[in-house]
């Protein structure tokens, strides 16, 4: 006996990746439905590489009664309308938008980090997926925090354009092509030219000068990992199609060496340590595309603080940062509470 699963936003980057991962991981399904806005009604999407085509239904007219879980990748506006409707019908919503992440009645889950928090899903029948840059960072931080207790994190991100959706990827491609042939590289999706450039601005600015993306990393890390951890972030968009990278500096309460950190990370769930300290002995975003793991490289001690480490963290943002994490939440929910897929 398997689950009846809905993928909402199935025609977008994350929705398509959700379908790929459900198929790859052979999620125990009895039925699957794909829904999106009226613009996509009647379109067909691939169910991974199974050869199966799924016809897109209009989410406005879809009845979620009798469905077990819905993986949402439709943005906050659509989620605000449809998530409560699905949840009230008994279909647990696993939401990729930012709408419910800081709601105290909605668990914010990274299965390798805080699986027990999923118990709180019954309050709203909704579970939140964290921001893509937060998800990979907390996977790296959790085992180190358990060992030496993190006091403070300073992170700078190098975030790919796929984090801004298909429009972001199209803009990088078009600008790059236009520059090569001498045409205009006018910015439309981003605030400045993204091709051959970096933009220290993701999401809207807040009153204190930080951006909403940076704020998300701060508050989500506290909610998922530990409210006592101090976090400061600088989030930067870079001309990479897929794969977010992060330079993370960590200050601990207790002593921890680079060698100890490497040993811990080597054994940590969801982490792949690639740290050879030689030419090419590290992972770049191009190499992480299509992979499940969060890759850690360049682990070294920071001599400017008493107990400090620096490291490099790379992950496929469409996978661990979004679709994979949502599917892992679905697997966790099924395993612990719904008990259908055995």
For residue 69, report the phi and psi dihedrals to the nearest 5 degrees. Answer: -140, 150
Any known ligand binding at 38? no
60: nearest Cα among 33, 87, 75, 41: 41
Q: Is 74 left (phi over 0), alpha (psi -120 to 50) or beta?
A: alpha
Any known ligand binding at 12? yes
Q: How many of the other CB atoms lie within 10 Å of CB of 154? A: 17
Pair 151, 145: CB distance under 8 Å: no
Residue whose tokens read 């105290």: 104
For residue 270, report the phi and psi dihedrals to the nearest 5 degrees. Answer: 80, -5
Query: What distances in angstroms separate CA 137 from CA 32, 55, 161, 245, 247, one per listed residue?
Result: 31, 36, 18, 10, 10
Any known ligand binding at 40? yes
Any known ligand binding at 14? yes
Give the chain's end-to-end CA distance (angstroms, integer).
7
Pair 126, 101: CB distance under 8 Å: no
Retrieve residue 203's tokens.
Answer: 């999401």
Query: Which residues are catalytic, by number?
Result: 132, 244
Any known ligand binding at 178? no
262 CB burial (10 A radius; 0-12, 13-18, 19+): middle
Q: Where are the alpha helices (DSSP H) in the chain?
A: 13-24, 75-88, 132-148, 165-181, 212-224, 258-266, 285-288, 324-333
Any known ligand binding at 154? no
Any known ligand binding at 262? no
The 69-72 sheet, strands edge to edge: 44-46, 53-58, 29-36, 3-8, 69-72, 92-95, 126-128
Retrieve residue 259's tokens.
Answer: 């060698």
26/14 Cα distance (integer angstroms): 18
Any known ligand binding at 237? yes
Any known ligand binding at 266? no
Any known ligand binding at 13? yes
Task: Mark the binding-site residues, compressed into ranges.
Answer: 11-14, 39-40, 101, 159, 162-163, 237, 317
Task: Mark the binding-site residues for phosphate, compressed into ranges.
Answer: 101
Task: Mark the binding-site residues for NADP(+), compressed into ranges.
Answer: 11-14, 39-40, 162-163, 317
């Amino acid at each position: 006996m398997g689950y009846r699963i809905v993928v909402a936003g199935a025609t977008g980057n994350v929705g398509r990746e959700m379908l790929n991962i459900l198929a790859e991981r052979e999620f125990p399904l009895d039925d699957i439905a794909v829904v999106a806005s009226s613009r996509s009604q009647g379109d067909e999407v691939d169910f991974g590489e199974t050869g199966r085509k799924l016809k897109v239904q209009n989410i406005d007219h879809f009845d979620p009664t009798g469905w077990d879980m819905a993986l949402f990748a439709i943005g906050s506006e659509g989620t605000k309308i449809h998530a409560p409707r699905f949840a009230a019908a008994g279909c647990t919503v696993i939401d990729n938008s930012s709408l419910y992440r800081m709601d105290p009645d909605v668990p914010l889950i990274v299965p390798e980090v805080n699986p027990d928090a999923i118990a709180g899903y019954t309050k709203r029948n909704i579970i939140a997926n964290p921001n893509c840059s937060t998800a990979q960072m907390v996977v790296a931080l959790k085992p180190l925090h358990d060992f030496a207790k993190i006091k403070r994190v300073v992170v700078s991100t190098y975030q790919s354009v796929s984090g801004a959706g298909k429009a972001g990827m199209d803009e990088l491609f078009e600008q790059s092509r236009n520059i090569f042939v001498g045409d205009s590289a006018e910015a439309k999706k981003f605030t400045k030219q993204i091709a051959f450039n970096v933009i220290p601005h993701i999401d809207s600015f807040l009153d204190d000068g930080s951006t909403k993306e940076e704020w998300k990393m701060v508050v989500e890390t506290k909610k998922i990992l530990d409210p006592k951890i101090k976090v400061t972030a600088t989030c930067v968009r870079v001309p990479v199609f897929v794969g977010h990278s992060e330079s993370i500096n960590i200050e601990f309460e207790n002593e921890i060496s680079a060698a100890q950190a490497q040993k811990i990370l080597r054994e940590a769930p969801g982490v792949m340590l690639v740290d050879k300290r030689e030419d090419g002995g590290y992972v770049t975003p191009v190499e992480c595309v299509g992979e499940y793991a969060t890759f850690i490289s360049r682990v070294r001690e920071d001599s400017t603080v008493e107990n400090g480490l620096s490291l490099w963290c790379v992950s496929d943002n469409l996978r661990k940062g979004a679709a994979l994490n949502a599917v892992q939440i679905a697997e966790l929910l099924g395993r612990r509470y719904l008990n259908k897929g055995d």
